[in-house]
Structure 1
Amino acid sequence: MQIKTEGIVIHSIRYGEADVIAKIYTKEKGLISYLIRGVLKSKKRKIKPAFLLPFSILTIDASHKSKTTLKRLIDASPIEAYTTLHQSIVKNSMVTFLTEILLQVLADEAPDEQLYEFVAYSILWLDANEEITLFHVHFLLRLTTFLGCSPDSTNIHLTKFDLKEGNFTFNTKSGYFIEGTLLVAFKMLLGTNFDNLKEISLPKEERKQLLNKVLLYYSFHVPGFKNPKSLLVLETLFS
């Protein structure tokens, strides 16, 4: 069966001398592993190596044989031409960090059009904007909605957020919680959108703490979750 759909490149790796295996999150089929023959060798290939950079949004033609786990990418073309995403060191590090997260949480061949649209919109926003210091934290919080583990904001007026229980409370016995100025920023992030992130002011060290709290939340609520290897690089760039 041959399909044509949109897809977001999550990860790609060299395979042999000239081939590439790319994990692409497709609108129609979910996360799929594709083999792209000769992409690193022939200059005449329709699919260019630059098309396979992380978070590239493509229109793809692919062959999906039911008995094979590795599908074949026949053709691809970029939908968007980025201006800053892969040129900015900070943005590129953020892309690496978020694609590591997505590789953990996206289920193979499980399509979710709303999740696809959210990721695509987020990428385009990141490329077009410069006030991005809390982008990745907000992205992670929004992502929990699609993963079925979003924070329970029923009692958002309370003074602590229990990371293990996933709700707001006056008191917590778990020992894992957010409070004080971090809680103020956390509440604001839950109730805003990307365009309003610039209104949330948080010192560098507290931004780092908040990110680590959100990652801890993921470790409690996303089975098998581990902190991305690129976290240290990201923290260094924002320090």
Structure 2
Amino acid sequence: MKLIKTKGLVISFLKYRETSIIVRIFTRDLGLKSYIVNGVRSKGPKSKMAFYQPLTQLDLIVYDKEGTSLNRISEVKLAKAYERIPFDFQRSSIAMFMGEVLGKSIYEGYQNDEFYDFIAYSLELLDDESVVLVHFPLVFLWESSKFLGFAPNDAISFFNELTDESYHPGQMKAEMDYLDLLIEKSFACTQKVHAMHRKKLLDHFLMFYSKHLESSFEWKSVKVLRQLLE
């Protein structure tokens, strides 16, 4: 068993017994790992439960034993304190959606330090007061699909994957133009786009992810997200 120093991003946790949790953390160096943390849900000022909320960024020293599905954390510190995400409904809702996307997209043992760095960068932007929030979830989905290995080259390729032979490109020209804009500008996009096109493109992205992840799961955070895209 080795002790490893790494950065980590909390994906989710499950309650375990009376006061413990099993937490899934996307670590920069070891990939997605599960850790059991004892006594963390006990009441009192020394509780460290705040460390294990989704998308919290941590500095960690963890035990790592090959072939073990559950490891333990030796030391944990907060790596980044958000200024706006926990206190702003729009930002916290987008963060919740990001967490759900990651929870559905990455699997135990998946390691990609470049993807980790991109997520950390995205959260830094989301916490910045100047970011344009209405485009943010869609840009995150597009950019993440590159790291996950299924991003097409352009908007036409994206829509061709989702449609059959009866599809006519003119039917979705506005959404295609919007996606091309996001591909070009990424998080720097500030152009105004009608809410209908933003919502339609979100629906297309959810279909796109479900297809590539080979699952028809329910997206729990999307209902609130659609309200933000209005």
TM-score, structure 2 length as denominator? 0.89
Query: Which of the two has greater helix per residue?
Result: 2
Percentage of matched positions with identical amino acids = 28
Letter in 2 for 1:190: I
Task: Compute the displacement of 1:43 (Å).
Answer: 4.1
Q: Is the 8 A contact 1:204 1:238 kept in 2?
A: yes
Correspondence for 1:183 among 164, 169, 176? 176
1:64-97 alpha-carbon deviations (Å, 9 max, x no partner):
2234211112221111111011111111111111
**Change in 2 beyond 3 A, CA 1:101/1:71:** same
Which residue in the other structure is 2:103 paired with? 103
Q: Distance in 2 between matches of 1:176 and 1:75?
A: 56
Equivalent in the alignment of 1:48: 48
**1:190-209 paired onto structure 2 within 5 Å:** 190-194=183-187, 196-198=188-190, 200-209=191-200
Conserved in 2, the CA contact under 8 Å of 1:65 and 1:71? yes
* Distance in 1 separating the partners of 2:25 and 2:216: 20
Aligned to 1:214: 205
Are the equivalent residues in 1 in contact too, given 2:8–2:28 (CA < 8 A)? yes
Which one of the candidate residues 221, 224, 229 is aligned to 1:230? Answer: 221
CA shift in 2, pair 1:182/1:33, >3 Å: same
Instruction: Report the alpha carbon displacement of residue 131 of structure 1 after superposing the two structures with TM.
Output: 1.8
Which one-letter code corresponds to 2:128 in the other structure? Answer: A
Which residue in 2 is equivalent to 1:145? Answer: 146
Three-state SS of the structure 2 residue aligned to 1:165 is helix
Ranges in structure 1 where 5+ consecutive residues have no aligned partner: none
Q: Residues 145-190 of structure 1: CA distance to partner in whole angstroms, max 9, x if unpaired?
A: 111111223xx6xxx5553537xxxx96163967222211110111
In the TM superposition, residue 227 of structure 1 has moved relative to its aligned partner by 4.3
Asked if the contact 1:163/1:216 (under 8 Å) is kept, the reply is no
- Number of equivalent positions: 227
Structure 1 pair 63–238 and aligned structure 2 pair: CA distance change class (3 A)? same
Name the TM-score, length of structure 1 as normaliser: 0.86
List gaps (5 residues or longer) in structure 2: none
Please list the CA deviations of residues 10-30 of structure 1 after superposition, one character each: whole Å capped at 9, or x if unmatched: 112222221121111001111
Let me know the Cα RMSD of the aligned residues.
Answer: 2.3
Letter in 1 for 2:198: R
| Matched position secondary structure for 1:68 | coil
